[in-house]
Chains A and B, each alone.
Chain A
């Protein structure tokens, strides 16, 4: 009898894009992800799209998460998308949370953000979504992990 191969913990980079300084929510989400057993690289404030793409690539993450409260999410994500594609991170899970008006959700989805968590989202919904999506994509690409 051998134990099932250990699953690598889900690795998440959580970034605060642009100049927005409202980090209460981002830090709360970091704590929720840690409590759910994930590894989190929290970037702190003032990240450029280039920095987010670089950190995501260097840290070999499964999830790229942004927290935006100050309204510049579309401008930022339009610049981030080609950089993530270029860094070979198109198959990772991209999610975004914060003050995200409904009318922007369509474009965020089109840019590749599969998870959109506007203000008042629940922590357990965020962690459950990440677990489901990452497990799903691992099952698709690394079937041996479930042997």
Chain B
């Protein structure tokens, strides 16, 4: 019972389970741990921001998630967004590419270029980035199961175009552990999947030290049903699993931790999210410093993309998603994110239109130009409420991480399906609460408008496009040196079987124009395929 609540005032508990008071004072801040973890922006433990000047020096990178059909069409959309002021690219791949299947594989039927861009060989990657200055525009590849192949293709393409790979910046999502919890583009069993992520981190530390080979995603765990504290805590557990995998190969923490980046969700209560990000920055810095003995400040930085929150958007009254997107952008800016991408208002229906993408981009731009979000670092710092909640959220995340460690670590809990079962039980309760009205959603369970046709332009899907992609793949197969491809694939199989780093052989294979499907097939022939555990407990 909350003895501070006057009679008749209902208690409020945030999604992470923390009770929210109607008023906070300095006494609450002190009782929650005071300013022990606060510090100054740019200084350990970075709660207030990883840089001293934050957006004063450089506003967040704007990076809308984009990709559809084929590489040429996607390249045109990339150029449209860049012409409209976008400062980075966030590349979306179709499901066959994400699942490591060639476009002519039977399971790919009906899926080629459907949700995003189809990539089969290095040729497609060359077309996708044609004419784009990769030194000026950093590229994020949203790819996981087949990430090592797409990273290899991206680096090979950049090198052939004359960019210095040692200086190349960019990011790959490459967070396979979360794919087992949500999103589902896994290919290999858990252990070899983890090993292949380790291969990319180790390879990039040596050959592409400015490239971020992993973006650890709390985002999709949240989408699958996790609360905000679990979202960040589980992401940190996963990031630690990758760090452990690389450390056991003898790579020092300070040689790769600085290139680990993160992707977080933003929907929900504004203050809970801001507190989550501020708490997370301090907690991650502490973890990397204390658990791993990192000494470089950059190793301790929680660099992140934030702004999207698909589960927060609604199918009903989709134009309200423009408003939600603006609030999410506000939260992201108040939270000190390095990069922002917003879900578009039409995304519950279709691949976003050019118009919808532009609205999202303009939303971010007007926060900088009109609303003053880039003027001052950590503008909510010092609020009794936000500081107290930041401390409470950090304690909650620490409690969750300790629980995972006590149960043998995140890898085992994901392999057994326990995390999946837990978050899906929570998603079920959230859905029931949504339907009962306990969890309020405007346009869904209150303020509904009946029988209104949404004004959404559906993205067309052209079967002929898929056939053209299959034809392009066939042409590459005819014109490449088949013996060189076979030798390269054999080297991939050998590296996988011997347990050596698979990346050098994958890089050679993509340069010989081996396809995503062939390289994946080579790895599957050695390590096998993942089988999903099915559990429906708590």
Contacts and interface: CB of A to CB of B under 8 A. Distances in A.
Nearest to A32: B428
Nearest to B311: A24
B363 to A, nearest CB: 23
A137 interface: no
A34 B428 CA distance: 12
Contact of A21 (B179, B314, B316, B534): B179
Nearest to B97: A19
A44 B435 CA distance: 25
Nearest to A47: B107
B281 interface: no
B110 interface: yes
A129 interface: no
A109 interface: no
Contacts of A54: none
Given A27-B427, A48-B107, A18 B534 contact: no
A30 B536 contact: yes
A22 B431 CA distance: 16
Nearest to A44: B532
A45 B110 CA distance: 16
Given A21-B179, A70-B111, A72-B111, A123 B225 contact: no
Contacts, number: 91
B110 A44 contact: no
B424 A24 contact: yes
Interface string B315-326: 110000000000
Given A32-B428, A44-B534, A120 B316 contact: yes
Interface residues of A, number: 34
Contact of A20 (B95, B106, B532): B95
B183 A22 contact: yes
The CB with the most chain A CB atoms within 10 A, among B183, B184, B350, is that of B184
A34 B424 contact: no
B424 A28 contact: yes
B432 A123 contact: yes
A46 B106 CA distance: 12
Secondary structure at the B interface, as helix, strand, loop or mixed, is loop
B411 interface: no
Nearest to A40: B536
Interface string B406-441: 000000000000000000110110011001000000
Interface in A11-31: 18-24, 27-28, 30-31
Given A24-B182, A72-B114, A99 B536 contact: no
A31 B425 contact: yes
A27 B424 CA distance: 7
Contact of A24 (B106, B179, B223, B432): B223
A101 B458 contact: yes
B348 interface: yes
A72 B112 CA distance: 10
A122 B435 contact: yes
A96 B348 CA distance: 17
Interface in A27-71: 27-28, 30-32, 34, 42, 44-46, 48, 70-71
A42 B536 contact: yes
A112 B110 CA distance: 20
Nearest to A23: B184
A93 B202 CA distance: 52
Given A24-B427, A70-B95, A75 B184 contact: no
Contacts of B314: 120
B431 A28 contact: yes
B85 to A, nearest CB: 30
Contacts of B534: 42, 44
A124 interface: yes
B111 A24 contact: no
Nearest to B459: A71
Interface string B90-134: 000001101101000011111100110000000000000000000
A120 B315 contact: yes
B143 to A, nearest CB: 13
B224 interface: yes
B203 interface: no
Given A27-B424, A44-B532, A120-B316, A70 B225 contact: no
A129 to B, nearest CB: 15
Given A24-B223, A28-B427, A119 B315 contact: yes
Interface in A90-134: 99, 101, 103, 118-120, 122-124
A34 B182 contact: no
A89 B109 CA distance: 24
B491 interface: no
Nearest to A75: B110
B114 A21 contact: no
A31 B428 contact: yes
Nearest to A35: B428
Contacts of B515: none
Nearest to B443: A120
Contacts of A18: 95, 107, 110-111
Contacts of B424: 24, 27-28, 31
21 contacts: A18-B110, A18-B111, A20-B184, A22-B184, A27-B428, A31-B425, A44-B534, A46-B107, A48-B106, A70-B114, A75-B109, A79-B109, A99-B349, A118-B315, A119-B348, A120-B315, A120-B316, A120-B444, A123-B431, A123-B432, A123-B435
Given A23-B182, A31-B424, A32-B431, 11 more contacts: A18-B110, A19-B95, A19-B111, A21-B95, A24-B224, A31-B536, A34-B536, A42-B536, A48-B107, A101-B350, A122-B435
Interface of A: 18-24, 27-28, 30-32, 34, 42, 44-46, 48, 70-72, 74-76, 79, 99, 101, 103, 118-120, 122-124
The 4 A-B pairs of least Cβ separation, nearest first, read A21-B184, A75-B110, A19-B95, A44-B532
